[in-house]
Amino acid sequence: MKRTMLAIVVVGLLLASLPWLGVPSFYESILYLVCHWMVLALSWNILSGYSGYFSFGHGAFFGIGMYATAVLAGKLNWPFLATLPFAALLPALLGLLLGFVVFRVKAVRGELFALLTLAVTFVVATIILNTPIDGGPGVYLNAVDVPKLAPTASGSIYLMVLAAAVVTLLVAYRVQASRLGIGLFAIHDDEDVAEVMGVPTFRYKLVAFALSCALAGVAGGIHALFVQYVTAGETFNITVPLTVVLMSVLGGTRHWAGPAIGATAITGLLYFFTAGDHAVAGRAAVGAILVLVILFMPQGILGHFRRRRPKTADAAVTAGEAAKPGEAVTTGEAARAGEAATTGEAARAGEAVIPGTARDPEPPRAAARTTPSAPLLEVRALSKAFKGVQALDKVNLQVRQGEILGLLGPNGSGKSTLINVVSGHYPLSGGEILFDGRNLTGAPAHRMAHAGIARTYQIPRPFAHMTVLQNVSLVAMFGCASLPQKQAVREAWKWLEFTGLQARAHALPEDLNLHQRKFLELARALAARPRLVLLDEVLSGLTPGEINEAIELIRRIRDQGATIVFVEHVMRAVMALTDRIVVLNHGKLIAQGEAAEVMKDSEVVNAYLGKPAYA
Ligand SMILES: Nc1ncnc2c1ncn2[C@@H]1O[C@H](COP(=O)(O)OP(=O)(O)OP(=O)(O)O)[C@@H](O)[C@H]1O
């Protein structure tokens, strides 16, 4: 990490020497434009590329920065450098305000967010144009003194934008490698699941948005000085956000350096054609290249080559490095070495290791038991209504410390809904959730995860662009354990070994079979070091042999002290594993107690057992 950052700074310092080497100012202008677009594209990518919240409003934040400097320096005669903090702060505040409202609304994701940010651009442009900020004629900055940083004014402006580009590169790099970046990539893949796994999605999106807007604002402030004359028509032109998006997509949005490559390529190409007096042909060429890249390299230039890399000579290095437990694996790496070097023999053969036959991992730390049989989870009058469906109707339930509680009921009786509500995936409609004596009613899902609740999904929902190892280590970082990154990777290896998935550590979820995907769900839940594990039909769809493996695995999880709620239709597993069962029907709890007793209950027989079709 330090080497990459050092390399960015060294290259920046080398480029900073150009104004003293007598380079014609024309070239400084070209380099200025490259750096300028780099800042804009990189800053856009911090929110939109990493988290998937595509914004078409970057022009607004850039424009606010531009006008902040134009008004403060051009109209109020402030020294230029004193305007830059405001050029950063004002768009950041607008981003925060907008995000504070918009990021709370689940419906405003994807294209709606893109349209909303585009609308913000028009609103900002209209306000600026129709108030004394601009008022129509534009703002001149030709009387503003350029800070003397280099022998010439153009050299000084170039140095400022170069500094901004270096800082933005460092920020983009640091964010990607940090918890924030990993959380944003999880949001990109599945925001609801990310929240349930412990990622504070709202806060992370806000931070990313504010950072993105602030950097765009700085680019705007410097650009105001560069163009010397600021008009609303030029500033809030749709080509600004479009160009930024295209540059990022071309270079690759899932890598910190992708937008920088896209910005360099497109600016360089445009210059090449403009210099040859073929500006129109240049734009057409850029358009054609973009179409080709989107068709054949949908992950962008960097994404494409990084995806191919493990298949080449350095695959062994990538896999070997990541195979060292404790080595940090960031989401951007996405190493896809299906045959990655691993620790066990079976793993080397590329086979999943049957739990119990793998080399014994260091015993995974399980939740510590406190008072035996004390309730760990208590739900009181828990209700959940969807439009027209009362999925849960005043359910009262206790889960005791250290037990396996079977949650049974016919299809549609509310079992998954109960798990969804207790894990925070769905907000409740009524009632209370008490966990370990704390009232978690209405808490956001990431707080449920931090408190010690982990879950699996009936239909596995792994983060699609992250490897198996990254999926599991993310939960070790953000779940109840809240481990630092390197320790989280070590923890993930333990659970991969526990579930027999270590041979698939570097595979993407799409390359796993159903059995492996179900076990990935388990490994993820366990890596959180939860106090309560909610298992939603982990056995469905498995073969009888795989079911036996899973039963053995769940026993081992319980033996290590975890408390488990177990939704299952496979009756032999229910009988083999559960201490107690509760039965739901039409969202109501109809029976609870020891399995053998409850199975004789006439209401249970009528509602559930009387129905055929369970294994
Ligand atoms: N997101 C949703 N929107 C609308 N209705 C829902 C939603 N999720 C669940 N329901 C409804 O709530 C009721 C309970 O569903 P739930 O999935 O909890 O049942 P279940 O007992 O888990 O069933 P299964 O055994 O088939 O998984 C069903 O009528 C279902 O259609």
Phi/psi of residue 320, nearest 5 degrees: -60, -45
Name residue 434's amino acid: L
DSSP annotation of 423 reads T
Taking the centre of ligand 1 as the mean of its atom positions, its distance from the CA of residue 384, in whole angstroms, is 10
- Is residue 394, in this structure, part of any structural domain at all? yes
Q: Mark whether 389 and 461 lie in a shared domain.
A: yes
The set of residues, in sequence order, having a beta carbon less than 8 Å from that of 353 and lying 6+ positions away, is 344, 346, 347, 497, 500, 502, 503
Q: Mark whether 527 and 379 lie in a shared domain.
A: yes
303 pLDDT band, cuts 50/70/90, is confident
Q: What is the mean pLDDT of residues 495-501?
A: 93
Q: How far apart are CA 275 and CA 253, in angstroms?
A: 29
H/E stretch holding 88 reads helix 80-102
- Is residue 1, in this structure, part of any structural domain at all? no
Q: Which atom of ligand 1 is nearest to the CA of 414?
A: 18
* Nearest CA residue ID for atom 8, ligand 1: 417
Domain boundary among 307, 331, 357: 307
pTM exceeds 0.95: no
Question: How many domains are there within the chain?
Answer: 3
Instruction: Report pLDDT digits (tens) over 92-122.
Output: 999 999 999 888 887 777 678 888 888 999 9
Q: Mark whether 419 and 542 lie in a shared domain.
A: yes
Write down the residue that tokens 């410390």 correspond to. 401
* Nearest CA residue ID for atom 20, ligand 1: 412
Helix/strand/coil for 23 = coil
Taking the centre of ligand 1 as the mean of its atom positions, its distance from the CA of residue 416, in whole angstroms, is 7
Tokens of 557: 């999880």
Q: Mark whether 537 and 584 lie in a shared domain.
A: yes
Pick 234 or 38 by higher pLDDT.
Answer: 38
CB 196 within 8 A of CB 425: yes
User: Which of 296-310, 340-354, 563-577 has maximum average pLDDT?
Assistant: 563-577
Domain boundary among 307, 326, 353: 307
Structural domain of 289: 244-307
Instruction: Report pLDDT digits (tens) over 181-233.
Output: 999 999 999 999 999 999 999 999 999 999 999 999 999 999 999 999 999 88
Of 390, 416, 418, 458, the one to substitute when testing ligand 1's pocket (max ligand atoms within 8 A of C-beta) is: 416
pLDDT of residue 285: 77
Of 106, 382, 386, 590, the one to substitute when testing ligand 1's pocket (max ligand atoms within 8 A of C-beta) is: 386
- Is residue 224, in this structure, part of any structural domain at all? yes
Taking the centre of ligand 1 as the mean of its atom positions, its distance from the CA of residue 195, in whole angstroms, is 21
Q: What is the mean pLDDT of residues 244-256?
A: 89
Domain boundary among 237, 257, 277: 237
pLDDT at 348 over 60: no
pLDDT at 482 over 70: yes
- Is residue 497, in this structure, part of any structural domain at all? yes
* Nearest CA residue ID for atom 3, ligand 1: 386
Taking the centre of ligand 1 as the mean of its atom positions, its distance from the CA of residue 521, in whole angstroms, is 20
> Which range has the worst mean pLDDT, 345-354, 370-379, 587-596?
345-354
Q: Mark whether 159 and 297 lie in a shared domain.
A: no
CB 537 within 8 A of CB 568: yes
Q: Mark whether 135 and 60 lie in a shared domain.
A: yes
Q: Mark whether 232 and 249 lie in a shared domain.
A: no
pLDDT of residue 277: 67
* Nearest CA residue ID for atom 26, ligand 1: 411
Q: Mark whether 381 and 412 lie in a shared domain.
A: yes
- Is residue 513, in this structure, part of any structural domain at all? yes
Q: What is the ipTM of this complex?
A: 0.97
- How many other CB atoms are there within 10 angstroms of residue 143's CB atom? 9
DSSP annotation of 363 reads P
Q: Mark whether 270 and 383 lie in a shared domain.
A: no
Taking the centre of ligand 1 as the mean of its atom positions, its distance from the CA of residue 405, in whole angstroms, is 20
Q: Mark whether 218 and 144 lie in a shared domain.
A: yes
The domain spanning residue 447 has which CATH number? 3.40.50.300
Instruction: Work out the percent of the chain whose per-residue pLDDT is above 70.
Output: 86
- Is residue 164, in this structure, part of any structural domain at all? yes
pLDDT at 464 over 80: yes
Q: Count Cα neighbours of 130 within 13 Å in the Cβ-side half-sphere.
A: 6
Q: Mark whether 410 and 525 lie in a shared domain.
A: yes
Q: Mark whether 426 and 295 lie in a shared domain.
A: no
Taking the centre of ligand 1 as the mean of its atom positions, its distance from the CA of residue 474, in whole angstroms, is 28
Partners of residue 398 on adjacent β-strands: 378
- Is residue 614, in this structure, part of any structural domain at all? no
Taking the centre of ligand 1 as the mean of its atom positions, its distance from the CA of residue 457, in whole angstroms, is 13
Within 6 A (CB) of ligand 1 lie: 386, 389, 391, 409, 411-417, 458
- Is residue 326, in this structure, part of any structural domain at all? no
